[in-house]
Structure 1
Amino acid sequence: MRKLLAASLAFAAMLGSADAQETIKVGALYNLTGGMSSLDGPSLAGAQLAVKQINAAGGLLGKQVELIAPDGKTDQQETAKAAQRVLSEGVIVGIGQSDTTFVMAGAPLFQEKGIPFVTSGATHPKLPEWVGDHMFMTPFGDDDQSYAIADYTYDKLGARRVAVWTDNSMDFTKALSAFFTARFQQKGGEIVGTDVFMMGDTDFSAQIARLASLDPQPDAVFVSAIPSEAGLSVKQIREQGISMPILSGDGFDTELVSTVPGPELATDIYFSTHTYRADDRPEVKKFVDDYKAEYGREPENAFAPLGYDAMMLVADAIKRANSSEPAKIRDALAETRGFKAVTGEISYTRPTMVPPKPVSIVSVKNGKYTVEEIWRPESQ
């Protein structure tokens, strides 16, 4: 009887193991509704395209990949619930999120379970330190992208006096402003006014009045915002007749920057983002062609290829590990060097585990987006 019981328990354990599952389950944490949806929606679409291609090529370890993607609804509690749900369903790795605040609502739960999590778009450079050794980043860090836009503002736009607005409710936006300010001041620039707002704000009239009252006027205003506030802030600043350049980071890499204010008002805007637009690398061309063939539209922004890259990065690690054991996948991820991603080569060579990647500076003029230059970090 004891032998039978032991055999039954062993069989049950085997059934519950990752190796015994019929599919390779990957958790995808994205906010498909709410303020982050214009970034997370395209990112999930990119990840889904990657899964389709992986499965068409035979899957991983002889099994098909299953992406489990509940909606986090741009809410930290809902994101935590989504993380708990996918973990309960036996995922062996997680991907997703385009913002640090939401990564911190879900990724620590993966860390506790010993399951790796790869963010597709969150950019705070301390994420691997905050979460732990099972946390990996597909994108660059906020320090790099802030330095890129600060350098461009000072060197190419010739700005010397800049006002800084910050969404004070998000880790990402606060970090972006802090790194921009430090770099701009280091170069000899001056921050002449600071202001704050919160995620969900729709009226920027008080901030605009304070900006307009600065004498002399700054050469530009840096607006650290997520997409839902990006388009609104541009619209309201321009409607009040303020024509100075508007600067930001990858939270502005959304169609909302042009569609909300309209093309006439969406002009003289500059932001740093992930390298992919106007890039002639073969990885970029293939991704754009495949995305258009799958969805009948151009990739909406850089977060679409970031989602694709996160999933392909995970697939590469599983292949190299030749295992569905989370610990072995984690080790393979940590050893990633020279992975040819759509958004730039990924190598975990820095002590911070933040990949040193190029940064695009994109301008918006009369609603049209143009890559002005590619900035590269000093430590490649």
Structure 2
Amino acid sequence: MKRLALASAISVLAMPALASDITVGFAIAQSGWLEAYDTPAATAAKIRIDEINANGGLLGRQIKWVEADTKTDRQQSARAGLQVIDEGADMMVVSCDYDFGAPAALSAETEGMVSFFLCAEDVKAGIQGVGPHSFSGSVLAAVQGATMAEWSHAKREARTGYVLLDTTIEYNKGICTGFDWMFPQLDGTEIVGRDTFKNDDASIASQITRIKALPEEPDVIMLCSYIPGAASAVRQIRAAGINSLILNGSAVDGSYWLDATPDLSGFVVPVQGSIYGDDPRPEVETFNVAYEKATGSRPASSYAYPGYVLMDLWAKAVERAGTLDGAAVTAELEKMKGENTAFGPRSFSQELHHQNAAEMQIIEITDGKPAAVDSWTISQPVPLDVLLN
């Protein structure tokens, strides 16, 4: 009897310890205005987690997640970051916006932990503003502006441009930075004027007066703004009889705001993928269907996509590193050059944890209906010194 008991004890000791789950901490806005951006991207990240788990997990372990609400508040962001660390997070996902995601990301950086901004498009949401273990899952705003400059020049023969900047947030400035960098490099181009406004301005009448005072209507207006200010500006520009092609960034992707601008035409944005079922890459529509299955509706904008991308890239880096160690995973992420994802290739380096070039789908609104009309990759990456300007 004693021998049997001893044999059983030895057998138990010889069994490998069961691996614990890997924990992803979401320190994101679940309330406040930023929730509209964070929730779709976080949902997309969780869809990728579920896919990874269904295929055997990561390093042979399942991935779970914990969450803390930043309430779209900077101080609460720092507390949320500390909370998910206390709950055992092995990596951290933070809010789409740099200003509101950085306090949580800095908590991760202190721990030497990899953090990913869900969809931040300011270069500071990474090495430059947080530290060496911080990344973003999205494409820089400057790339969006540069894409609009080069595409409109090549495909719509744009030679004159007017820059209208909403100075409210850094994202808007990034879009205009990219346009200002790229457009003057192109043959026969000229920026014929520029102006500013604030997102909550009730009227941009004085700015419109200055556009109408130009000797000729500009070929394009580079409007660097977001909803609701962007919708108001577009409505006023068209009501004034200005027919220039209006360009913007990805922040105004989606049809949810078009009731404010009935029968709008000549409005173009670059996006990472089309939510409208017409993306040329079947993987994008596969994701749209998966998102609808998970939530009951298709993505309202392309800002869901970076969440899926970041989780895919992080998991690949973990598998290659063979560990969750932040430094080792960062090193693998920085080796990625043209890494394939469902939304196009992605690259990182020791100098930049963002995309300073990417294939963008071109969405044009005609008679109130958005549709993918083209795709474009800028001919040269946006230089780091431009991004830091």
Q: TM-score range by the shorter chain?
A: 0.7 to 0.9
- State the SS of the aligned residue for 2:283: helix
Q: What is the aligned partner in structure 2 of residue 360 from structure 1? A: 361
- Write the deviation string for residues 91-133 of structure 1: whole angstroms up to 9, x where unpaired: 2212243334334444333223211112332223454333322
Q: What is the aligned partner in structure 1 of residue 182 from structure 2? A: 183
In the alignment, the residues of structure 1 paired with residue 152 and residue 178 of structure 2 have an alpha-carbon distance, to the nearest angstrom, of: 14
In the alignment, the residues of structure 1 paired with residue 18 and residue 223 of structure 2 have an alpha-carbon distance, to the nearest angstrom, of: 50
- State the SS of the aligned residue for 1:362: strand
Q: Aligned runs of 1:85-234 on 2, under 5 Å?
A: 85-125=83-123, 127-187=126-186, 188-234=188-234
For structure 1, list consecutive stretches of 5 or more residues without a partner in the other structure.
1-18
Q: What is the aligned partner in structure 1 of residue 40 from structure 2? A: 42
| Higher RCO, 1 vs 2 (CA within 8 Å, ≥6 residues apart) | 1
Q: What is the aligned partner in structure 1 of residue 269 from structure 2? A: 271
- Write the deviation string for residues 163-222 of structure 1: whole angstroms up to 9, x where unpaired: 212222322211221220121122242223322233544544444444444443323321
Q: What is the aligned partner in structure 1 of residue 348 from structure 2? A: 348
Q: 1:97 to 1:212 in 2, by over 3 A?
A: farther
Q: CA deviation at 1:37?
A: 4.1
Conserved 8 A contact 2:199-2:230: no
- Write the deviation string for residues 286-330 of structure 1: whole angstroms up to 9, x where unpaired: 212222222232222222222111122222222223323333332
Conserved 8 A contact 2:42-2:118: no
In the alignment, the residues of structure 2 paired with residue 368 and residue 95 of structure 1 have an alpha-carbon distance, to the nearest angstrom, of: 34
In the alignment, the residues of structure 2 paired with residue 30 and residue 234 of structure 1 have an alpha-carbon distance, to the nearest angstrom, of: 31
What amino acid is aligned across from residue 113 of structure 2 in structure 1?
I
Q: CA deviation at 1:332?
A: 2.8
Conserved 8 A contact 2:95-2:120: yes
Q: Aligned runs of 1:229-244 on 2, under 5 Å?
A: 229-244=229-244
In the alignment, the residues of structure 2 paired with residue 214 and residue 313 of structure 1 have an alpha-carbon distance, to the nearest angstrom, of: 48
Aligned pair 1:70/2:71, yes or no? Answer: no
What amino acid is aligned across from residue 144 of structure 2 in structure 1?
Q
Q: CA deviation at 1:351?
A: 4.5
What amino acid is aligned across from residue 130 of structure 2 in structure 1?
V
In the alignment, the residues of structure 2 paired with residue 91 and residue 47 of structure 1 have an alpha-carbon distance, to the nearest angstrom, of: 15
- State the SS of the aligned residue for 2:365: strand
Q: CA deviation at 1:247?
A: 0.8
Q: CA deviation at 1:248?
A: 0.9
Conserved 8 A contact 2:133-2:326: no
In the alignment, the residues of structure 2 paired with residue 261 and residue 30 of structure 1 have an alpha-carbon distance, to the nearest angstrom, of: 31
Q: 1:163 to 1:45 in 2, by over 3 A?
A: same
- State the SS of the aligned residue for 1:341: coil
Q: 1:87 to 1:210 in 2, by over 3 A?
A: farther
Conserved 8 A contact 1:358-1:374: yes
Q: 1:316 to 1:80 in 2, by over 3 A?
A: same
Q: What is the aligned partner in structure 1 of residue 4 from structure 2? A: none
Matched residues, percent identical?
Answer: 28
- Could you say what the CA RMSD is over the residues aligned between the two structures, in angstroms? 3.0
Q: 1:68 to 1:238 in 2, by over 3 A?
A: farther
For structure 2, list consecutive stretches of 5 or more residues without a partner in the other structure.
1-16, 382-389
Moved more, 54-63 or 166-175: 54-63
What amino acid is aligned across from residue 326 of structure 1 in structure 2?
G
In the alignment, the residues of structure 2 paired with residue 361 and residue 350 of structure 1 have an alpha-carbon distance, to the nearest angstrom, of: 30
What amino acid is aligned across from residue 120 of structure 1 in structure 2?
L
What amino acid is aligned across from residue 243 of structure 1 in structure 2?
N
Conserved 8 A contact 1:119-1:137: yes
Q: What is the aligned partner in structure 1 of residue 303 from structure 2? A: 303
- Write the deviation string for residues 122-149 of structure 1: whole angstroms up to 9, x where unpaired: 2234543333221223333333322210
Conserved 8 A contact 1:101-1:171: no
Highest CA radius of gyration, 1 or 2?
Answer: 2
In the alignment, the residues of structure 1 paired with residue 192 and residue 168 of structure 2 have an alpha-carbon distance, to the nearest angstrom, of: 22
What amino acid is aligned across from residue 375 of structure 2 in structure 1?
I
Q: 1:342 to 1:98 in 2, by over 3 A?
A: farther
In the alignment, the residues of structure 1 paired with residue 60 and residue 341 of structure 2 have an alpha-carbon distance, to the nearest angstrom, of: 23
- State the SS of the aligned residue for 2:299: coil
In the alignment, the residues of structure 2 paired with residue 366 and residue 378 of structure 1 have an alpha-carbon distance, to the nearest angstrom, of: 31
What amino acid is aligned across from residue 143 of structure 1 in structure 2?
A
Q: 1:334 to 1:269 in 2, by over 3 A?
A: same
In the alignment, the residues of structure 2 paired with residue 305 and residue 275 of structure 1 have an alpha-carbon distance, to the nearest angstrom, of: 8
Q: CA deviation at 1:354?
A: 3.4
Q: 1:379 to 1:226 in 2, by over 3 A?
A: same
Conserved 8 A contact 2:141-2:172: no
TM-score normalized by the length of structure 2: 0.80
- State the SS of the aligned residue for 1:234: helix
Conserved 8 A contact 2:273-2:305: no
Q: What is the aligned partner in structure 2 of residue 3 from structure 1? A: none
- State the SS of the aligned residue for 2:132: coil
Conserved 8 A contact 1:148-1:361: no
What amino acid is aligned across from residue 80 of structure 1 in structure 2?
A
